[in-house]
Structure 1
Amino acid sequence: MTRTPNLQLRRLLDDARWTMEQLARSVNALASHEGTSLHYDRTSVAHWLRGTRPRDPTPRLIAAALGIRLNRALTLSDVGLAAPPASGPAASSLIEDLLKTCAPPPAHAEQHPAPSVHTSSSGQRGTTAPTPREATAAFFIHLHYRYGSHGSSALTTYITDEGPRDTSPASLTDSAKLAYTLGLLVADRAEPGRADTLWQHTIRLAQHAGSPDLQSIALRARAALAHRRGQHITSLSLADEARRYAQAPATQAYSVIMSASILAAIHNAKAARRALDRAQSLYQAPGALDDPFTTYPEAGFLFQQAHVLADCGHRQEAIAVLNESLELRPAAELRNRALTHVRLAQLLLPSSAAAATPHLNALLDLGLPGQLRSDAVQDALRGLVRSVRNEPLTQRNAQLHRWVARLALPAR
């Protein structure tokens, strides 16, 4: 088969003033940073330049490596390595791949029945009622807001037993939403590798379904996961790719605020504030929150905004924004409220133990850690416990140390 030379990649390699060997080494180094072992050399790069597309995740690593060298974000299209167009057989194999991924590890088996979801009114978008599978995805996302990863095995069972099997755009979209939602749940039960795989399935299914916003949402989730794992170069690349796919204003704001969070965390305050300003200009508070795939709750947007402000050194402004976010959080969202209380306590603790104490007590009132099964909350709580333990044990701070004793976090 005759291949078309990748002239875009050739131009970027020339712009970077790199040899083929240097690009190969940079891709191998980025993969090693992510915990993957790759062994590309100049011959591999020569194949890419002649038109061969390497397997994932290599195209993304190539874009990231050249983007770092050229000091600008590059997408897969920029480097001539976008995924090939959809086809019927490929779409069918994507469904099979998703079902294989949904087989849970035996050690994590839970006894939960597949849910019964009523779709008469919940999740409506305009005048069109959601499909049962769309409503199921939305149901489990809202369950995640409340209890973290509870229900992940139930959703796995639902996908394997009742998930769509045909390759129509509507069914592929349903499959993508279910894969994305299961990724949220397993990420919050400390299974990042499985979550990332599910989000890669989401991206491919959404591409075949012609849903760029859904691709953007999954790319943003992958960016957040990489950021949490300390893979900041990869996370920036994924967040920028998410921004390029986003079409709706809510999805654009959702991706841009992620870029702002990453930039702030790596101490690029100037770029972070520019991204934050852009996200604020795009964001519009939704009138209804039925569909989590087309709306972005204001409380969530404010929570991300506060992270940017805090990491840029604007602590008091961040505290005010977090308090506003907390007021908007529904009382039932235990997971999201817990994360907000933790962040407020962390910001208040250095200057006022008394001001932090109500948030510490609120965490106990939420029934932590028993009611929640959330790796994100557990990590946040451990960070907060370390901060409290760094406080001297004085009469004034004794209540803080009693709080740590009452929390009784499980061992990692």
Structure 2
Amino acid sequence: MNDPNDSLAALISEAGWSWAGLARRVNDLGANEGQSLRYDYTAVNRWVKKGERPRSPVPNFIAQALSERLGRRITPSDFRMPDEETLAERGLSYGGSAISTVETIIDLGRADVKRRQIIKAPFVLAALGAPSRDWLLATLDEMSTERGPRQVGMRQVAGIRDMFALFQEMDVMRGGGHARTALIEYMSSYVVPLLKRDHQPPVEKALYEAAAELAYLIGWMAYDDGEHGLAQRYLIQALHLAQASGSVPLGAHVLAGMSDQANLLGHPREALMLARAGRRGLAEPESPACTTDLYILEARALAALGERSNASKAISLAEKTFGQVRPEQEPEWAKFIDAPYVFGEAAHCFRDLGQVQPLEQFGRESAEGARKQGRARRGALSHAALAVGDLARNDIEAAAAKSIHVVELAASVNSTRCIATVRDLQRRMRPFSAIPEVQQFNTRANELLGLAA
């Protein structure tokens, strides 16, 4: 049974309405839209006392009725009834006010925590173009004006950034499925109330920036956990908050995440477009780490497209820019853009291009760096690339040994990407299933991850 809907009860009471009166007005609003509704006192009783949620579009009718009665805008999220069909569409929308973006993130979080249907919302390829275009146009327009010095040190913002650092560390070390719900709860209970207050412009921009960082991280965690439609919606909203904050590097960082997701899902042309949009909006001195990330993701997309020369050039530019990174001068969200990450992504580029020697060079450096840091997810991904290199050299036993290590690393984190990596290795090794070492790999994958060969 759901919890009682105290929020709805309070709004009905404030409106001075009886439950039967609300039901009648909902029926009338439905009739205006061609809906034949027959709600009565008992239906409202179930909504309030049992926390039941009527089907779409009834939550919108309830909100409209309450808005009329109270003389202010009420949304379904105000009484814990996000209209999930509308929410799935709103989550893909880039625009409107920053406050409307905050409300969309609130609704996404509530639906996410409750494991409602929104988590099954599809990834929509057509939704990628407009956000990157609008962000880039707004960013280039803002470059023509002087922005004053950024004020920092606000106590609330500093606290939010400390929490962001903590949750990002948990994602890096334990995987995206580990603490996403806790992060959503923190954002909903602490950050969102701050966003809804009036602030002086410098504080408001800083809060939007901190909220954009959190929304991005929630989206990234959902991406790593395989919830791609949900992740896409969080990332689009994070991009809009980044624009509202005036932080160009953060907006470019969100576009990098969107590019990474698009490439993983088999859309390299869109991934290339997103990475290049981020790079065009970002002046290199603003964040060499972010520029590095955009170059390496551009390389990933080019490699997936089979453009060997251009991919190699992008990798070289990523390496060159990475040499300019000064970690102490970079924002907290750029902390993960380090040698294990950059070299690991380069290894995957060369994997896709079928170039074994550079694959092994970059892959070994990435895997060793990840081992020293205790980063199992990054280690699993890099060892998997190395295993593919062994297969290309027809060293099946070495590939199987590395694959067993991938399984053991994947079992220590909550990451759907790692699971997909093991499945990919199983697929690649299927022609060699009679070899004892490959059988040991498949047995271990089944024991630790429940993955049958």
Match of 1:154 in 2: 182
Match of 1:196 in 2: 232
Distance 1:147 1:56 in 2: 27
Distance 1:280 1:182 in 2: 28
CA distances 1:19-72 after superposition (whole Å, capped 9, x unpaired) = xxxxxxxxxxxxxxxxxxxxxxxxxxxxxxxxxxxx9979xxxxxxxxxxxxxx
Distance 1:216 1:237 in 2: 12
- Shift, 1:382, TM fit: 0.1
SS at match of 1:354: helix
Match of 2:172 in 1: 145
Contact 1:310 1:318 in 2 (8 A): yes
RMSD across aligned positions (CA): 2.7
Contact 1:253 1:282 in 2 (8 A): yes
Whether 2:354 is the aligned partner of 1:313: answer: yes
Distance 1:275 1:301 in 2: 12
Given the alignment, which residue of 350, 357, 363 partners 1:322? 363
Match of 1:97 in 2: 104
Contact 1:388 1:400 in 2 (8 A): yes
SS at match of 1:104: helix
Letter in 1 for 2:352: D
Distance 1:98 1:56 in 2: 8
Match of 2:333 in 1: 293
Letter in 1 for 2:190: E
Letter in 1 for 2:322: Y
CA distances 1:329-382 after superposition (whole Å, capped 9, x unpaired) = 14421111111111211221242123224423323443x43x322111111110
Whether 2:438 is the aligned partner of 1:400: answer: yes
Distance 1:131 1:291 in 2: 13
Distance 1:223 1:389 in 2: 31
Match of 1:239 in 2: 275
Distance 2:397 2:321 in 1: 37
SS at match of 2:266: coil
- 1:289–1:227 distance in 2 versus 1, CA, 3 Å: same
Distance 2:408 2:451 in 1: 21
- 1:356–1:176 distance in 2 versus 1, CA, 3 Å: same
- Shift, 1:316, TM fit: 1.4
Distance 2:369 2:387 in 1: 18
Distance 1:268 1:276 in 2: 12
- Shift, 1:134, TM fit: 1.2
- 1:305–1:331 distance in 2 versus 1, CA, 3 Å: same
Contact 1:202 1:218 in 2 (8 A): yes
In the superposition, the TM-score normalised over structure 2's length comes to 0.63
SS at match of 2:432: coil
Letter in 2 for 1:202: A
Is there any run of 5+ residues in structure 1 with no aligned partner, and where?
1-54, 59-82, 110-126
Distance 1:320 1:400 in 2: 24
Match of 1:302 in 2: 343
- Shift, 1:289, TM fit: 10
Matches within 5 A, 1:8-407: 90-105=97-112, 108=115, 131-148=158-175, 149-163=177-191, 164-165=194-195, 166=197, 168-247=204-283, 248-284=287-323, 285-287=325-327, 291-295=331-335, 296-329=337-370, 330-350=372-392, 351-366=394-409, 368-369=410-411, 371-393=412-434, 397-407=435-445
Larger radius of gyration: 2
Letter in 2 for 1:204: H
Distance 1:349 1:289 in 2: 41
In the superposition, the TM-score normalised over structure 1's length comes to 0.69
Contact 2:91 2:236 in 1 (8 A): no
- Shift, 1:327, TM fit: 1.3
Letter in 2 for 1:384: L
Distance 2:451 2:398 in 1: 28
- 1:364–1:233 distance in 2 versus 1, CA, 3 Å: closer
Distance 1:90 1:364 in 2: 45
Distance 1:223 1:100 in 2: 24
CA distances 1:191-243 after superposition (whole Å, capped 9, x unpaired) = 11111111111111111111010000101111111111112222121111111
Contact 1:144 1:335 in 2 (8 A): no
Percent identity between the aligned chains?
23
Distance 1:364 1:308 in 2: 22
Please state which structure has a larger fraction of its residues in helix: 2
Contact 2:216 2:235 in 1 (8 A): yes
